[in-house]
Amino acid sequence: MYIVKKDEVFRVQSSQKGKYYEVSLKKNTCTCPNFIYRLKRKGDCKHIKAVKELHQNNAKDDFEKALEFIEEKKEVDSLEFMETFSEGILNELIEKGELIEKKGMVKKNI
Instruction: Give helix 87-95 / helix 46-73 axis angle, nearest 10°.
Output: 80
Residue 88, pLDDT > 90, answer no
Q: In the chain, what is the greatest distance between 2 CA atoms, to the nearest angstrom? A: 56
Q: What is the mean pLDDT of the chain?
A: 85
* 3-state DSSP percent of the chain in helix, strand and coil, to 5: 45, 25, 30
- When pLDDT is averaged across residues 85-110 and rounded to a whole number, the result is 86
Instruction: Name the band, by pLDDT with cuts 50, 70 and 90, for residue 17.
Output: confident
Residue 24: which pLDDT band, with cuts at 50, 70 and 90? very high
* The pLDDT value given to residue 31: 94
Confidence of residue 1 (pLDDT cuts 50, 70, 90): low
Q: Above pLDDT 90, what percent of the chain?
A: 20
Segment 8-13 mean pLDDT? 86
Whether pLDDT at 58 is above 70: no
